[in-house]
RNA sequence: GGGCGGCUAGCUCAGUGGGAGAGCGCUACAUUGACACUGUAGAGGUCAGAAGUUCAAUCCUUCUGCCGCCCACCA
């Protein structure tokens, strides 16, 4: 029979050609879109909105790929699955980049003006937002693009305003002067989470403050001598004998001569430094707390530019408390106007000259750096807007104790809970322009009006203050304020939409551990308060990506991998995705990215592609989709591969259900490459396989690529489309149904014995230096020829000429293991002798174990039974080898 | 100072209370009805160290040592 004409399939699989073509088709057919459908269980993931400051980076690979996998998997399960995409305006991050950009034209934010600057920001968003989406599409991510949102969309902005106004009316948003993190370069406050610690070499300066009454006073130790200008006290531990006599007395600041009290405070560690701490409440968090406890004045001496200034006062400081420090202002002017680090040098020099500097000890400390600009953060007192967190955190803590949300891995829940328990008020006002402007207006008398819009603000102002003359607060909100609303704002909240009804709460949130507290906890708190439910059932935490040596990837270290440049073009999106998932292990919190996995994955795709070519080129052709031959026609090899396929599908299903993506990828690779290609495909080349192999190959490949599709969407689609199939695209094909994959434990074990024997024969071939092209000779027990397909399989797989010998009884397995290679007797003698020695030692080990009374008595019965079975097997094997050895001609 | 994770072959990592595994790299051979982006075979490990629990520990417990991360007010 002439095989039907088939188009020639290319020899290698080319992701660069296939991937864009298939993605375009998916987009066109709208497979990623769904509508809320109460008839199907929802499976919803809100995509953590990427910043608009660049394209996809390595972190997106590890965090977003699992989201795509989960969504595709649940869609194939027939659920109402939707992955909701969007982007974050990333207030400070974007503004910082933008300011640098316009600086190249010699412009500044102020020279452009607010309107023009914001117009530029929107243009930036258009351009780079599009770039991110392109990267995501190249990676094969399939979110519901029709539902894309941006944190500054009209709807989302309305949600932001409503939340701010409601929280204000409930007394949870307030304005106050507090110590905040000031970034002198970005010219804005930062949240605690945007501050990073970095080790740095400096000095611990020991400075003597003389007693006011002329005594020696004491020596303080500080890393920030320049702030001594704003010292208001020296603190010592109440139990510290060295300083007890000074408590309540005054000491005098060198050079400027101002007297300040010595106070006792438990927070002072007597063993550190000199045990005496200068207290500068306006420039240090600890000092601020001491200042509050002791009701100390809080003068500021470093201004918003990071320069020393004559004292700036907290707006609410009384004139009486200002007086003693104002009197010193003139002497302080010697340092005024200098940058804080320059002022430090001058002050240390002057202290040395005047003999006040006692010691200068090299010291390693941690500097707070802005994660945006890398500038050293200046803690300073400032009038800002805050959210009172305690009342928001409490319900979240209680929910967590009741088990929601569930964290995977579980231990990250403790990180989350610990964060909630020690939560501090959240500074939400930023001095950048790009963001949601505070819905706050002030009257000429600085009365505060909070309203949804200007009209409402004016109305309130007229009612309350008799005039509607208002100026709007220029500040904007912390970017996390809007992203904290993400899972419900994108579903249309505060409107009650079908999406909100059926898709909230989401099923899973996937993110990395560095933003558990920064983002996850805020979504929970705000979701609980405004929608009444925690926004997601499960939080899956992905590992952070490091380089091969465990270092963080960074451009400055030169070890950063850009997936869009370094991976996708070389290995394809499938290879890149597969490698990320392969390296993800549930309990691991770090992923040392190893490009070798990408290479392996790419070769895997080619391997599968060639298995497809083989299948499609069978001379007898292929039957229709998913039609298996009747069971009685299946060969042992067929039954074995179907059994293995089912085990693989089962493993992969469980793995996806449990977020164990590495396990799923391992199982797919193992089955696809080794089990299927190396053994089954080879086995179909044997005599006797022709009748069933087309159907089985087609069925197995079809089922297998569906199980692999969520991980490697492109190559699986391409293979599926080439095979006989039902339906338009694998994206909406059904997940492999275990019940439809037959399993044959006994026959599969028989083929297992074939594999075992073939490996032994190949090993012998190698030892005897029989070239692979040459056929070796084996003898099989005559009775084995009656078993359909066994001898032919062995002959093909071992590449051997077969003859028979009399004898061989027992099970099929025993007879398979009794197959023997033919070689000259010296070689065989050597081989049998070695094998006998090995088996003897195994038998001895096993016998010794079973002779151990406590083992037999105490080990579980099935373990003992298994050991006995093993021993029996060894003995039979040993006997076979001895017989073979005895039978050798001398 | 607390907490967490890791330590298994040269490299990157799986894994299991009962005979140590994969990929890459290395060695040898090979162009076999798809695949050299391939196949076959091989070398390579006191499973970080010590103690304990157990009939049995690479796996469980404790301690120690490194490596990394997170949190915290040591100026």
Protein A559 CA to nucleic acid B62 C1', in Å? Answer: 39
Q: Which of A259, A147, A254 is nearest to A209 (CA)?
A: A254
* pLDDT band with cut points at 50, 70 and 90 for residue A726: very high
Strand B–CB A154 distance below 7 A = no
| Sheet strands side by side (includes A80-84) | A80-84, A42-46, A506-512, A536-542, A406-408
* Minimum CA–C1' distance nucleotide for A767: B41
Query: Is residue A39 pLDDT above 90, yes or no?
Result: yes
A259-263, A454-458, A774-778, A798-802 — most confident range: A454-458
Query: Is residue A860 pLDDT above 50, yes or no?
Result: yes
Protein A571 CA to nucleic acid B27 C1', in Å? Answer: 29
pLDDT, position A317: 62
Helix A690-708 to helix A661-669 angle (10° resolution) is 160
| Sheet strands side by side (includes A173-183) | A188-190, A173-183, A378-387, A426-427
* pLDDT band with cut points at 50, 70 and 90 for residue A330: low
* Minimum CA–C1' distance nucleotide for A603: B37
Query: Where would I find the H helices in A222-339?
Result: 285-293, 319-326, 329-332
Q: Which of residues 421-440 of A touch strand B (CB under 7 A)?
A: 422
- Give the torsion sign (CA, A197, A200, A204, A205): negative
E strand or H helix at A516, and its extent? none
Q: Which of residues 317-376 of A touch strand B (CB under 7 A)?
A: 365-366
Q: Which of residues 741-780 of A touch strand B (CB under 7 A)?
A: 759, 762-763, 765-767, 771-773
Protein A553 CA to nucleic acid B65 C1', in Å? Answer: 28
Query: Is residue A503 pLDDT above 90, yes or no?
Result: yes
* Minimum CA–C1' distance nucleotide for A855: B55
Query: Is residue A322 pLDDT above 80, yes or no?
Result: no
Which tens digits make up the pLDDT trace of A394-414? 999 999 999 999 999 988 998
Helix (H, G, I), strand (E, B) or coil at A169: helix
Interface predicted TM-score (ipTM) of this complex, two decimals: 0.95
Using CA atoms, how far residue A257 sits from A181, A224, A289, A321, A639, in Å, is 30, 19, 25, 17, 94
Specify the DSSP class assigned to residue A159.
H
In whole angstroms, give the CA distance from residue A304 to residue A380.
9
Protein A269 CA to nucleic acid B1 C1', in Å? Answer: 12
* pLDDT band with cut points at 50, 70 and 90 for residue A796: very high
Which tens digits make up the pLDDT trace of A616-656? 999 988 998 878 999 999 999 999 999 999 999 999 999 99
Using CA atoms, how far residue A470 sits from A435, A450, A729, A751, in Å, is 21, 11, 59, 85
Protein A847 CA to nucleic acid B55 C1', in Å? Answer: 14
Contact status, residue A29 vs residue A531, Cβ threshold 8 Å: no
* pLDDT band with cut points at 50, 70 and 90 for residue A5: very low
Q: Which two tokens stand for residue A2?
A: 């002439």
Strand B–CB A512 distance below 7 A = no
Residue position matching structure tokens 């074995």 = A640
Name the pairing type of β-strands A86-87 and A149-150: parallel
For A167, phi and psi rounded to 5 degrees?
A: -65, -35
pLDDT, position A590: 84
Contacts of A630 (CB under 8 A, 6+ apart): none
Using CA atoms, how far residue A398 sits from A421, A505, A525, A883, in Å, is 11, 18, 11, 73
Protein A601 CA to nucleic acid B44 C1', in Å? Answer: 25
Rg (CA), chain A: 37
pLDDT, position A2: 37
For A378, phi and psi rounded to 5 degrees?
A: -105, 115
pLDDT, position A325: 64
Residues facing residue A802 across a β-bridge: A778
Contact status, residue A115 vs residue A179, Cβ threshold 8 Å: no
Asked, as a colleague might, if the bond just before A494 is cis with ω within 30 of 0, I would say: yes
Specify the DSSP class assigned to residue A140.
T
In whole angstroms, give the CA distance from residue A858 to residue A864.
9
Which tens digits make up the pLDDT trace of A180-228? 999 998 889 998 878 888 878 889 999 999 999 888 899 999 999 999 9
In percent, how much of chain A has pLDDT > 90? 67
Protein A761 CA to nucleic acid B35 C1', in Å? Answer: 24
* Minimum CA–C1' distance nucleotide for A267: B73
Contact status, residue A91 vs residue A117, Cβ threshold 8 Å: no
What is the mean predicted confidence (pLDDT) over A23-34? 97
What is the mean predicted confidence (pLDDT) over A747-774? 89
E strand or H helix at A36, and its extent? none
Protein A288 CA to nucleic acid B16 C1', in Å? Answer: 55
Q: Which of residues 263-282 of A touch strand B (CB under 7 A)?
A: 267-278
Half-sphere exposure at residue A110, Cβ-oriented, CA atoms within 13 angstroms: 2
Which tens digits make up the pLDDT trace of A679-699? 999 999 999 999 999 999 999
Q: Which two tokens stand for residue A289?
A: 């707390």
Protein A845 CA to nucleic acid B54 C1', in Å? Answer: 19
Q: Which two tokens stand for residue A348?
A: 């240390």
Q: Which two tokens stand for residue A547?
A: 């380089």
What's the gap between Cα A568 and its chain centre?
19
Q: Which two tokens stand for residue A318?
A: 């009384």
Which tens digits make up the pLDDT trace of A98-128? 999 999 999 999 999 999 999 999 999 998 8
- The residue lying closest to nucleotide B72, measuring its CA against C1', is A422
Which tens digits make up the pLDDT trace of A218-265? 999 999 999 999 899 999 999 899 999 999 999 999 988 888 999 999
Contact status, residue A180 vs residue A427, Cβ threshold 8 Å: yes
Q: Which of residues 524-583 of A touch strand B (CB under 7 A)?
A: 546, 548-550, 552, 583
b/e burial code for range A573-588 (CB count within 10 A of at least 16 → b): bbbbbbbbbbbbebee
In whole angstroms, give the CA distance from residue A61 to residue A63.
6
What angle (nearest 5°) sits at the alpha carbon of residue A509, between those of residues A170 and A142?
125
Residues facing residue A440 across a β-bridge: A450
Asked, as a colleague might, if the bond just before A136 is cis with ω within 30 of 0, I would say: no
Query: Is residue A1 pLDDT above 50, yes or no?
Result: no
What's the gap between Cα A426 and its chain centre?
25
pLDDT, position A258: 86
Query: Is residue A878 pLDDT above 50, yes or no?
Result: yes
Contact status, residue A545 vs residue A593, Cβ threshold 8 Å: yes
Protein A259 CA to nucleic acid B48 C1', in Å? Answer: 58
Q: Which two tokens stand for residue A105?
A: 């034209």
What's the gap between Cα A667 and its chain centre?
22
Asked, as a colleague might, if the bond just before A409 is cis with ω within 30 of 0, I would say: yes
Contact status, residue A879 vs residue A871, Cβ threshold 8 Å: no
Using CA atoms, how far residue A174 sits from A159, A440, A505, in Å, is 19, 11, 29
Q: Which of A143, A151, A125, A149 is nearest to A64 (CA)?
A: A143
Q: Spell out the long-range contacts of A289-298 with Cβ–Cβ below 8 A and sequence spacing 24 or more.
A: A290/A233, A290/A235, A290/A263, A290/A265, A291/A232, A291/A233, A293/A265, A294/A233, A294/A263, A294/A265, A296/A232, A296/A233, A297/A232, A297/A321, A297/A322, A297/A325, A298/A232, A298/A381
Nucleotides of B under 7 A from a protein CB: 3-6, 11-15, 18-19, 23-24, 28-42, 54-56, 67-75
Contacts of A274 (CB under 8 A, 6+ apart): A206, A218, A219, A220, A221
Contact status, residue A238 vs residue A268, Cβ threshold 8 Å: no
In whole angstroms, give the CA distance from residue A582 to residue A577.
8
Strand B–CB A603 distance below 7 A = yes
pLDDT, position A549: 77
Residue position matching structure tokens 């003006």 = A113
In whole angstroms, give the CA distance from residue A48 to residue A888.
72
* Minimum CA–C1' distance nucleotide for A615: B34
pLDDT, position A323: 63
Protein A867 CA to nucleic acid B18 C1', in Å? Answer: 8
């Amino acid at each position: 029979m002439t095989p039907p004409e088939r188009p020639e399939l290319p020899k290698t699989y080319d992701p660069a050609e296939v991937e864009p073509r298939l993605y375009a088709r998916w987009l066109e057919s709208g497979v990623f879109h769904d509508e809320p459908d109460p008839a199907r269980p929802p499976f919803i993931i809100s995509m953590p909105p990427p910043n608009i400051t660049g394209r996809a980076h390595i972190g997106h690979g590890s965090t977003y790929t699992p989201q795509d996998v989960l969504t595709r998997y649940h869609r194939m399960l027939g659920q109402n699955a939707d992955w909701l995409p969007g982007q974050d305006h990333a207030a400070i991050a974007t503004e910082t980049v933008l300011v640098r950009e316009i600086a190249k034209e010699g412009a500044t934010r102020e020279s452009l003006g607010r309107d023009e600057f914001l117009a530029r920001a929107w243009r930036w968003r258009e351009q780079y937002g599009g770039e991110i989406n392109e990267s995501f599409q190249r990676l094969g991510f399939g979110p519901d693009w029709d539902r894309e949102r941006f944190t500054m969309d009209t709807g989302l902005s309305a949600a932001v305003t409503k939340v701010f106004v409601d929280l204000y009316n409930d007394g949870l948003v307030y304005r106050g002067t507090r110590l905040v993190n000031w970034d002198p370069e970005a010219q804005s406050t930062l949240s605690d989470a945007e501050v990073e610690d970095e080790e740095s070499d400096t000095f611990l300066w020991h400075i003597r403050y003389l007693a006011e009454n002329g005594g020696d006073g004491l020596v303080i130790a500080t890393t920030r001598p320049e702030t001594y200008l704003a010292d208001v006290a020296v603190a010592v531990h109440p139990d510290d004998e060295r300083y007890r006599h000074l408590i309540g007395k005054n000491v005098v600041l060198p050079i400027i001569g101002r007297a300040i009290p010595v106070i006792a405070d438990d927070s002072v560690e007597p063993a550190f430094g000199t045990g005496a701490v200068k207290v500068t409440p306006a420039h240090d968090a600890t000092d601020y707390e001491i200042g509050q406890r002791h009701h100390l004045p809080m003068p500021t001496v470093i201004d918003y530019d990071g320069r020393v200034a004559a004292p700036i006062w907290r707006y609410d400081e009384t004139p009486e408390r200002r007086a003693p420090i104002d009197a010193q202002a003139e002497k302080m002017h010697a340092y005024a106007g200098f940058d804080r680090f320059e002022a430090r040098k001058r002050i240390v020099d002057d202290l040395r000259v005047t003999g006040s500097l006692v010691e200068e000890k090299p010291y390693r400390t941690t500097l707070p750096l802005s994660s945006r600009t890398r500038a050293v953060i200046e803690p300073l007192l400032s009038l800002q807007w805050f959210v009172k967190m305690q009342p928001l955190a409490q319900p979240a803590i209680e929910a967590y104790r009741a088990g929601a949300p569930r964290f995977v891995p579980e231990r990250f829940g403790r990180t989350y809970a610990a964060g909630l328990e020690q939560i501090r008020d959240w500074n939400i006002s930023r001095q950048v322009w790009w963001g949601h402007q505070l819905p706050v207006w002030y009257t000429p008398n600085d009365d505060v009006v909070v309203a949804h819009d200007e009209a409402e603000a004016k109305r309130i102002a007229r009612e309350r203050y008799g005039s509607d003359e208002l100026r709007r607060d220029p500040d904007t909100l912390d970017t996390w304020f809007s992203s904290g609303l993400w899972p419900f704002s994108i579903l249309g909240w505060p409107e009650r939409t079908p999406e909100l009804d059926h898709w909230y709460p989401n099923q899973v949130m996937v993110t990395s551990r560095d933003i558990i507290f920064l983002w996850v906890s805020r979504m929970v708190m705000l979701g609980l308060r405004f929608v009444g439910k925690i926004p997601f059932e499960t939080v899956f935490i992905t590992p952070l990506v490091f380089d091969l040596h465990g270092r963080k990837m960074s451009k400055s270290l030169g070890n950063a991998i850009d997936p869009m440049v370094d991976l996708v073009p070389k290995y394809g999106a499938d290879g890149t995705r597969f490698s990320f998932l392969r390296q993800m292990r549930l309990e691991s919190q770090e992923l040392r990215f190893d490009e070798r996995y990408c290479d392996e994955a790419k070769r895997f795709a080619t391997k599968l592609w060639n298995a497809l070519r083989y299948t499609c080129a069978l001379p007898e052709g292929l039957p229709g989709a998913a039609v298996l031959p009747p069971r009685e026609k299946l060969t042992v090899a067929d039954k074995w591969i179907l059994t293995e396929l089912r085990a693989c599908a089962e493993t992969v299903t469980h793995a996806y259900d449990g977020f164990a993506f590495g396990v799923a990828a391992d199982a797919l690779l193992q089955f696809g490459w080794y089990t299927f290609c190396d053994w089954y495909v080879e086995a179909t080349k044997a005599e006797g396989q022709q009748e069933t192999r087309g159907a089985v190959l087609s069925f197995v490949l079809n089922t297998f690529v569906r199980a692999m599709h969520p991980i490697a969407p492109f190559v699986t689609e391409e293979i599926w489309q080439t095979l006989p199939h039902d339906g338009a695209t694998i994206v909406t094909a059904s997940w492999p149904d275990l019940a439809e994959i037959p399993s044959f434990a006994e026959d599969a074990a028989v083929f297992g014995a074939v594999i075992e024997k073939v490996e032994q024969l190949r090993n012998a071939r190698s030892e005897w230096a029989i070239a692979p092209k040459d056929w070796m000779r084996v003898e099989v027990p005559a009775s084995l020829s009656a078993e359909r397909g066994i001898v032919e399989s062995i002959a093909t797989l071992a590449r051997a000429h077969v003859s028979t010998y009399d004898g061989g009884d027992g099970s099929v397995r025993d007879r398979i293991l009794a197959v023997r290679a033919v070689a000259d007797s010296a070689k065989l003698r050597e081989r049998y002798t070695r094998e006998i020695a090995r088996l003897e030692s195994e038998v001895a080990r096993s016998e010794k174990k079973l002779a151990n009374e406590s083992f037999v008595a105490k080990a579980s019965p099935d373990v003992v039974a298994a050991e006995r079975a093993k021993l029996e097997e060894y003995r039979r094997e040993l006997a076979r080898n001895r017989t073979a050895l005895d039978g050798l001609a001398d």
